C-alpha cells in the first residue's frame, strides 16, 4: 500500500531573491511538501519505522530554506534532492514553494514554483 505523507503551510522568513534587498531583508515563504511511500508495514505495526517521519521532512525543508539563493527554483531543487537522498523509501516528491507578496511592481499574493519528481 502506498500513500502520502504531507506537510502543508510550512512558514519561513528566508533570504531568497534576485534583488539585493530581498537577500538583505528577506521575504516570507510558504512550503508545501508531499511524498509518496509504501507505509503498509508501518501502518500494520503502528511503528514509525517503515514510513517517512514528517519531522525529518520538516528538517530537510528548514535546512535548505536557511541557505540563501537567488532563485526559489534552486531551493526547490535542493529540497527535492535531499529528500530523495536521505529518504530512500520515497517514491515521489511533490513540492511547492511560495514567495508571499513578491516585489513585482504590483499586487500579488504569491509567486510559486512547483516540482514533482519520481524515483
**Distance between CA 111 and CA 116 in Å, rounded?**
17
Rg (CA), the chain: 16
> Which cell numbers hold the place of 4?
502520502
Sign of CA dihedral 94, 11, 84, 16: positive
Say which of 63, 99, 101, 116 is annotated catalytic: 99
Query: Is residue 62 among the annotated active site residues?
Result: no
Q: Active-site positions?
A: 99
Amino acid at each position: 500500500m502506498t500513500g502520502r505523507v504531507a506537510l502543508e503551510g510550512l512558514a519561513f522568513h528566508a533570504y531568497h531573491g534576485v534583488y539585493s534587498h530581498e537577500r538583505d531583508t528577506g521575504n516570507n515563504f510558504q512550503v508545501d511538501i508531499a511524498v509518496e511511500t509504501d507505509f503498509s508495514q508501518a501502518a500494520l505495526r503502528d511503528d514509525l519505522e517503515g514510513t517517512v517521519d514528517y519531522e525529518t521532512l520538516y528538517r530537510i525543508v528548514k535546512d535548505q530554506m536557511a541557505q540563501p539563493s537567488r532563485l526559489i527554483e534552486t531551493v526547490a531543487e535542493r529540497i527535492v534532492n535531499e529528500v530523495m537522498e536521505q529518504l530512500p523509501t520515497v517514491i515521489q516528491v511533490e513540492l511547492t514553494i511560495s514567495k508571499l507578496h513578491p516585489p513585482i511592481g504590483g499586487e500579488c499574493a504569491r509567486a510559486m514554483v512547483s516540482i514533482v519528481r519520481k524515483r
